[in-house]
Amino acid sequence: MELFRLTVAEARKLLDKREISATELINSVYRRIDAVEDRVRAFITLTKGQAAGMARNAGTKIKSAGPSSPMLGVPFAVKDNMCTKGILTTCASKILFNFTPPYESTVTSRLNDEGYVLVGKTNMDEFAMGSSTENSGFHVTRNPWDLKRIPGGSSGGSAAAVAADECIAALGSDTGGSIRQPAALCGVVGMKPTYGRVSRYGLVAFASSLDQIGPITKDVRDSALLLNSIAGHDPLDSTSAPVSAPDFTAALGRDIKGLRIGIPGEYFIEGIDPEVARAVRDAIRKLESLGAVPVEVSLPHTGYAVATYYVLATSEASSNLARYDGVKYGFRAEGKDLMEMYMKTRSQGFGAEVKRRIMLGTYALSSGYYEAYYRKALQVRTLIKKDFEEAFKSVDVIVTPTSPSAAFKAGEKADDPLQMYLSDIFTISVNLAGVPALSVPCGFTPDNLPVGLQFIGKHFDEESVLQLAYAYEQATDWHKRDPDL
């Protein structure tokens, strides 16, 4: 078996037994990158020099210390909106084309402390605004299952890199589905933890009340292992919850007999791809055969989620992105006076989708419209959160499709923003409510494109989500399939 195909758990075992070295592992990953990256284009920046040094350091620690932290010597990719000290961090935007952070994000700092090996920074929709990774300011990432199709977004580079075995695992960020949707479309596992479970310090903000960092992995066990490393309270992040993090791997392998799984009718709607609906229905029957008890639930405000999200997220983006003015860092255009410099910098530095969202958000926050749009959206967000709270009174975990369709062709929805926004219709509510959710592969379409199954849990109950997802994964073989590259 090629080393680049290993999971985190498999790599850990071989490294600790000293059957392989960290250097051999990273070299295998880079050979894979050399073979496929020109077609997949998952990365913005590769850190080959740093990775070699990190692997050597990991090798020394393994020799001297024996069995070690799960991440020691394991090659990871990181979405390019997480600050990495001394390494280019662009958010896939021309406005940050030359930005090298002077500090480290909390999540990468924690992985550094465990001795991970950074493969590189992955491509994304600019400032995480998109569902296809076509909005990158640099290039389009391709889906490893079909290079004519998109990998999803905005963490499309991370999901494609994991699916193509260009890293062992990766970090993504999820504002409205940006981990789970690309994970579903690329046939890998993606988890959005509870809002506040993982520190956002050093994550370049899109919508601060919605953004959350999480793992993209080859299986559920790796997701639990990586969550163990990055979860926990951080005093540097005022939104980080002062809640202790359990050992998430402890939930894996527990019997799911008697667990109540909620099936919301609002997620099986007209317009969903019949092949996606079939695969998800089959997955629910499989869970039932394993002892889970299906219960019909209602999330009545689901139909308002997309509109609510695109008022709140764009409003927060308008505020957060005001800092990019060409003065302190990043791209700067020349102008005859300060105002012209501001205008040229922002018009030339931001892509079309980012400018669209800034304008939408600025409008929603403007005098005379705040009450009509932003305030109402906040009220509907509360109703959506209450929907989940009510549903969880009768069920343990909610099960839904992750995306209404499999991966679509590149360019297919580029001229229709509304259709693109609807790609996240099944994931957005989770961010608005702040609850955890995870996507696992649950089948393939006749075109051999992956389908994702979404597990949604109660606040800070990632354990039940992982328990149920792991039981399903172990009873099926969907996660074992690899794209033919």
As beta bridge partners, residue 167 has none
Write the CB contacts of 49 (distance below 8 Å, at least 6 apart in sequence): none
> Treating both helix axes as pointing N-terminal to C-terminal, what angle do 8-16 and 220-230 enclose, rounded to 10 degrees?
80
Separation CA 135–CA 143 (nearest Å): 15
Sheet with 117-122: list strands edge to edge.
43-46, 117-122, 75-79, 169-174, 212-217, 189-192, 437-444, 450-456, 397-401, 260-264, 293-297
Structure tokens at 475: 């009873």
Residues 6+ positions from 444 with CB-CB distance below 8 Å: 187, 279, 450, 451, 478, 481
- Where helices occur in 298-408 by DSSP H, the ranges are 305-320, 338-349, 352-365, 376-391
Q: What's the half-sphere exposure (Cβ side, CA atoms, 13 Å) at 302?
A: 19
- Residue 459: both structure tokens together: 């606040």
Whether the Cβ atoms of residue 231 and residue 190 lie closer than 8 Å to each other: no
Taking CA atoms, 343 is separated from 99, 322, 332, in Å, by 20, 12, 10
Q: State the angle between helix axes of 305-320 and 352-365 in degrees (0 to 180), rounded to the nearest 10.
A: 100
> What is the C-alpha separation between 112 and 98, in angstroms, rounded?
23
Cα–Cα distance, 184 to 163 (Å, whole number): 11
- Among 472, 481, 420, 476, smallest CA distance to 450 is for 481
Question: 382 by DSSP, 3-state: which?
Answer: helix
Catalogue the active-site residues: 79, 154, 178
Q: Are strands 43-46 and 117-122 parallel, antiparallel or unpaired?
A: antiparallel
Q: Residue 259 has which token pair? A: 């667990």
CB half-sphere exposure, 39, CA atoms < 13 A: 16
Residue 457, classified by CB atoms within 10 Å of its CB into exposed (0-12), middle (13-18) or buried (19+), is buried
Q: Which residue has the tokens 């995870």?
A: 438
